[in-house]
Amino acid sequence: MPFSLARPEAPEPYSLLPEVPGFDLSSTDASQHVALDARFTGDGDDLSPALEWSGFPESTRSFLVSCFDPDAPTPAGFWHWTVLDVPVTTVSLARGAGHPDGALLPPGARQLRNDGGTVGYLGAAPPPGDRPHRYVFAVHALDVEQLDLGPDTTPTAAAFTALFHTVARATLTPTYAH
């Protein structure tokens, strides 16, 4: 039988978790259910898009920012970006903040390795011929200033740890296909 990527669509990743209040997440570089510009993909510059958020609860003490592809042809999706310990005073990340050197991140924030094995943002890169993939950018409002996770923590472990400290969540889901 020939190889095929045909499979049912994965559920929205946060719909299966305990419900938390939402808040606003926007971007001048990405829009809900609209294809990403090539600059933000593996076909382009691997730039992380600019993100801005507001309306999070007063109990917020820090943020975790992530990008997850639930449509990757793996049993567990694919983590493209995880930023820990974003200070509560930060309400935006500039375009390119996901660069491996982290120079555009606020003081104290740090990036984990993505599922490609590199630190920082790894642009959208679905397999050629596959349906459009969803890239779920999420900002998790947390009730702690730091998650106290080491640099070798996986994005999945960080998401699991953050779950128990999440007081609200905002998502923005652009798409991309070859």
What residues pair up with 100 in beta bridges, in sequence order? Answer: none
Separation of alpha carbons 92 and 87, rounded Å: 11
* Buried b or exposed e, range 18-42, using 16+ CB within 10 angstroms: eeeeebebbbebbeeeeebeeebbb
Separation of alpha carbons 98 and 34, rounded Å: 21
pLDDT at 142: 98
pLDDT at 7: 72
150 phi and psi angles, rounded to 5 deg: -75, 165
List, edge to edge, every strand of the sheet that includes 24-26: 24-26, 51-54, 92-93
Domains of the chain as residue ranges with CATH? 18-176 (3.90.280.10)
Separation of alpha carbons 100 and 106, rounded Å: 14
Separation of alpha carbons 95 and 21, rounded Å: 26
Enter the pTM of the model: 0.95
Dihedral of CA 56/63/25/107: which sign? positive
**CB distance 80 to 146 below 8 Å:** no
Strand, helix or coil at 109? coil
Per-position pLDDT tens, the chain of length 178: 444 566 778 899 999 999 999 999 999 999 999 999 999 999 999 999 999 999 999 999 999 999 999 999 998 999 999 999 999 999 999 999 999 999 999 999 999 999 999 999 999 999 999 999 999 999 999 999 999 999 999 999 999 999 999 999 999 999 999 8
